[in-house]
Amino acid sequence: LSQRQFCTRPLPAPFIRFPACSPPKQMQAPTEMDVMQCQMNEMCKAALLQMEAAVDDELAKVENMTEDDLSKIRQNRIAEMKARAEQKQEWTHNGHGSLSKITEQKDFFEASKKSEKLVAIFTRDSNRYGQIMKEHMSVLAQRHLEARFVWVDAENAPFLTDRLNIYMLPTIVCVKGNKVHKQHNGLDEIDGSGKYSTGMLEYLLHTDEMIDEAPMYDEEIREEEEELADLDD
């Protein structure tokens, strides 16, 4: 048998077909959203530069302060603290700091004149929702001296209920500057079921511009967010 002869020459490379080059794509024109985003970025940059410049100015003022400047700042702070203390003393003298009952109808007008802000609840002893609201208001009265909190027995104040058009109990009447500023008949604007918190009532009066802040409401919101975060985990 003859021995097979093996070829040692390299085999020809296979023919490879390369895809044809596609023409370059044309650049697309910026969309309206792109333009708006660019404008917003520029506005943010400008705002940050202004804030940075303002901070630099304040730092420069602090660095260049003299002893006279520091003395004036201390005097102004002492004057502010003294004014706040006198204001709190006046509020306490006028019945602020607790929920008090208006027994005589004329006392309602006197209280409205003495206090810049007066929050009044019109209800009656037999009204369960009115009793709950009085409990909430008692807490708020202790925390917010900037307003006076009172309650009126609607059955014994026919002139006031008629003049203020009170047709549902309990009703909240907010007096500011000796004028009726806001009025809430019933609980629909808070919670019609009556299951509302002190913080929710605080937030309502804050939006009515009757109290300065709503820290209890803010705390309730934080607690709810933390509970929801724990459930997600």
* Model pLDDT for residues 48-64, shown as the tens digit of each residue: 888 888 887 877 777 77
| First-residue to last-residue Cα distance in the chain | 82
**pLDDT at residue 18 greater than cutoff 80:** no
Q: What is the pLDDT of residues 99-133, one digit of tens each?
A: 999 999 999 999 999 999 999 999 999 999 999 99
In the predicted model, what is the mean pLDDT of residues 154-168? 95
Distance, in Å, from the CA atom of 172 to the CA atom of 163, rounded to the nearest integer, reads 14
**pLDDT at residue 224 greater than cutoff 50:** yes
Q: For all residues of the chain together, what is the average pLDDT? A: 86
Residue whose tokens read 């697309």:
28
Quick one: pLDDT at residue 10? 52
Distance, in Å, from the CA atom of 108 to the CA atom of 118, rounded to the nearest integer, reads 9
